Amino acid sequence: MAAKRIDGRAIAAQIQAELAARVAALKTRGVTPGLAFVRVGEDPASKVYVGRKEKACAELGIISETHVLPEKTSEAELLALLAKLNANVRLHGILVQAPLPKQISESTVFSTVLPQKDVDGFHPVNVGKLMLGDATGFRPCTPAGVMELLARSGVKTDGAEVVVLGRGNIVGKPLAALLCQKGKGANATVTICHSATRDIKTHCLRADILIAAMGVAEFVKADMVKPGAVVIDVGVNRVPDANSKTGTKLVGDVAFAAVEKVAGLITPNPGGVGPMTIAMLLQNTVRAAENSIN
């Protein structure tokens, strides 16, 4: 029997409907949430991602502006732009789209955006608050989106065995930290697996909830999944496809067709985690605007 699919688009739409009321309430107080996007270079994927976020902002009534800098922009030039955006009281959030060119330090850039405008959740202050379980910080959008998917799909995390494949700073580590917090929607026992983990399959087969965020196309096979487990696919990978006009196609970190036959719940890809990432960015931006007047 095939797994039930977790509809990330539908859940994201629920969240955006809830946010619409909050945006309307802000506007009655003379505040319109504002978000600045910064993109350096012409990376095709980055252009698509920023475009989707711009569209979502427009639909919700959030004012957005996009700053596109040349590929050869220096770190100093980018930091100067961020200083101006930090000082702009109309802007409540700032998102610098990764990846950045090699001459620019991502950690320096993420540390430069003011914590109260860091709607990506990458500033050291917000990372520290996440680790401490301090809800006043901003959570990274993709991990926060996964947490919402689990909660709104009725997945019981309390006491659950969770295996996170991937130890990245954007998804793997913050998601593991969120899941093991003491509180509602968390309280899980979490194992992080990575490239140096011995016998990953054994860890995966123990998981009640298996989250793939390692960036390896279709790494998770059906024989790695415990029957009835919840499988969350965060991966986005481009692979060759002779039947596609572009010669490639996007796949996740999970071999979906086979794993769907074993799992109990599973996120499709696309239509699973991706829409939630954008929804959580919007949520962080609205909260930043609310914080600015509270």
Domain ranges of the chain: 32-114, 141-273
- Which pLDDT score is estimated for 1? 66
Tokens of 220: 């998770």
- Dmax of the chain from CA atoms? 57
- Which pLDDT score is estimated for 294? 80
Q: Determine the topology of domain 141-273 in CATH.
A: Rossmann fold (3.40.50)
| Active site residues per annotation | 53, 97, 120
d(CA 219, CA 223): 11
Nearest to 220 by CA among 266, 249, 255, 187: 255
- Which pLDDT score is estimated for 45? 84
Strands of the sheet with 93-96, listed across from one edge: 63-69, 34-40, 93-96
Tokens of 163: 């295996």
Walking along the chain (294 residues) 10 residues at a time, the average pLDDT comes out as 91 97 97 97 89 96 97 97 98 96 96 98 97 96 98 97 97 97 95 97 98 96 98 92 83 96 96 96 98 92
Q: Determine the topology of domain 32-114 in CATH.
A: Rossmann fold (3.40.50)
Tokens of 123: 């500033």
User: Strand 248-251 relative to strand 237-240: parallel, antiparallel, unpaired?
Assistant: antiparallel
Domains 32-114 and 141-273 share a fold: yes
d(CA 147, CA 42): 32
DSSP 3: P
- Which pLDDT score is estimated for 249? 85
- Which residues sit opposite 38 in a β-bridge? 67, 96
CA dihedral 260, 262, 267, 271 (to 10 degrees): 0
Question: What is the amino acid identity at position 57?
Answer: C
Q: 0.85 exceeded by the pTM?
A: yes
Which string of DSSP letters, residue by residue, matches 174-230? HHHHHHTSSSTT---EEEEE-TT-S-HHHHHHT-SEEEE-S--TT-B-GGGS-TT-E
